[in-house]
């Protein structure tokens, strides 16, 4: 019995394996996700004689496919609209298969499994935009932060990160005096952030990032925004000097200009007269 069964198994194994071996297996299967725009990427780009199919499933759930990623000739798959349970932990298999339309007897294809990915916990958050406002009396500095938009829609309405994270979402402000490098931080649960304890009339520089403390440490912070600085105490000239003083200054300037013109004219006429006199005083023979 033994000598007969072994070769059969070996032949079967070898035939499957050589066929499998001709399709390169996907490498470096990676989730790239920002604001719930989630793309699975891998390599190498397929040649004309094979393709990739992606199968994904939430932990303990059924395998699903995106129609765009069946026998596809691209080394990426956009799964943003398919990972519908944001809290679930997904894995995906990238299968190397024959090209679209090609027939095959094989039912098993080589595949590579992705790392786990949970949209809610793992998607990166892009940098927010914010508006900086210093009150007229310079006592209050307020930042108005705009929540970044996500790739998700609900009833035709594009959701922002606050729609998804609600009170789990905070913003971290990093600020410093413009002329110093010492940084301070301020965390806020709201999008309108009034900063306390700033020195009045001093220029500060601010940047903002999303902060989700419920996430694992390495995923808590979003991308840092651009830096914006408040102005120095450059009160407008009208605030510093009264209208009377400004009027007097303008009058003085005009007066000065007038004097300069008058002096120039007088000098010029005087010089002309002097020249004329000089000429008349000269003897005739010298003029020829």
Ligand X SMILES: *[C@@H]1O[C@H](CO)[C@@H](O)[C@H](O)[C@H]1NC(C)=O
Asked if 229 is part of the footprint of ligand X (rule: CB under 6 A), the reply reads yes
CB of 31 to ligand X, least distance (A): 15
- Taking the least distance from each CB to ligand X, the nearer of 44 and 61 is 44
Q: Are 97 and 71 in contact (CB under 8 A)?
A: yes
Residues 188-207 that bind ligand X (CB under 6 A): 203
Stretch that binds ligand X, among 30-38, 45-53, 78-86, 103-111 (CB under 6 A): 45-53
Output the 3-class SS for 134-162: ECCCCCCEEEEEECCEEEEEECCEEEEHH
HSE-CB of 234 using CA atoms within 13 angstroms: 4
Stretch that binds ligand X, among 22-30, 167-175, 191-199, 243-251 (CB under 6 A): 22-30
State which of residues 6, 14, 17, 43 lies at the interface with ligand X (CB under 6 A).
Answer: 43
Asked if 227 is part of the footprint of ligand X (rule: CB under 6 A), the reply reads no
CB of 45 to ligand X, least distance (A): 8
Residue from 234, 207, 243 nearest 222 by CA: 207
Asked if 22 is part of the footprint of ligand X (rule: CB under 6 A), the reply reads yes
Asked if 28 is part of the footprint of ligand X (rule: CB under 6 A), the reply reads yes
Asked if 47 is part of the footprint of ligand X (rule: CB under 6 A), the reply reads yes
Residue from 19, 25, 27, 74 nearest 48 by CA: 74
CB of 272 to ligand X, least distance (A): 52
Interaction mask 143-182, ligand X, x per CB under 6 A: -----------------------------------x----
Residue with tokens 């009339």: 201
Q: Are 82 and 62 in contact (CB under 8 A)?
A: no
Residue from 214, 207, 208 nearest 171 by CA: 208
| Angstrom distances, CA of residue 90 to CA of 63, 80, 114, 153 | 10, 12, 9, 20
Interacting residue ranges for ligand X, rule: CB under 6 A: 22-23, 27-28, 43-44, 47, 49-50, 178, 203, 229, 231-232
């Amino acid at each position: 019995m033994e000598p007969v069964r072994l070769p059969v198994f070996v032949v079967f194994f070898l035939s499957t394996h050589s066929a499998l071996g001709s399709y390169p297996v996907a490498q470096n299967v990676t989730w790239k996700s920002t604001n719930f725009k989630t793309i699975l990427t891998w390599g190498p780009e397929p040649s004309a004689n094979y393709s990739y199919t992606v199968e994904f499933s939430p932990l303990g759930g059924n395998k699903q496919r995106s129609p765009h990623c069946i026998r596809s000739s691209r080394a990426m798959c956009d799964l943003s609209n398919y990972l519908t349970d944001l809290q679930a932990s997904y894995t995906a298999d990238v299968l190397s298969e024959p090209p679209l339309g090609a027939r095959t007897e094989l039912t098993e294809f080589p595949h590579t499994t992705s790392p786990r990915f949970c949209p809610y916990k793992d998607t990166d958050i892009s940098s927010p935009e914010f508006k900086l406002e210093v009150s007229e009396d310079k006592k209050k500095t307020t930042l108005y932060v705009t929540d970044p938009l996500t790739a998700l829609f609900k009833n035709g309405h594009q959701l922002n990160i606050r729609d998804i994270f609600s009170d789990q979402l905070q913003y971290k402000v990093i600020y410093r005096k413009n002329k110093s490098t010492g940084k301070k931080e301020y965390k806020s649960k709201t999008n309108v952030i009034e900063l306390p304890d700033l020195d009045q009339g001093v220029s500060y520089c601010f940047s903002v990032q999303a902060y989700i403390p419920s996430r694992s440490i390495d995923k808590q912070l979003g991308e840092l925004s651009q830096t914006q600085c408040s102005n120095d105490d450059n009160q407008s000239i009208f605030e510093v000097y009264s209208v009377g003083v400004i009027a007097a200054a303008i009058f003085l300037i005009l007066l000065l200009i007038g004097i300069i013109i008058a002096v120039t004219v007088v000098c010029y006429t005087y010089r002309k007269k002097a020249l004329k006199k000089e000429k008349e005083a000269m003897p005739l023979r010298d003029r020829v």
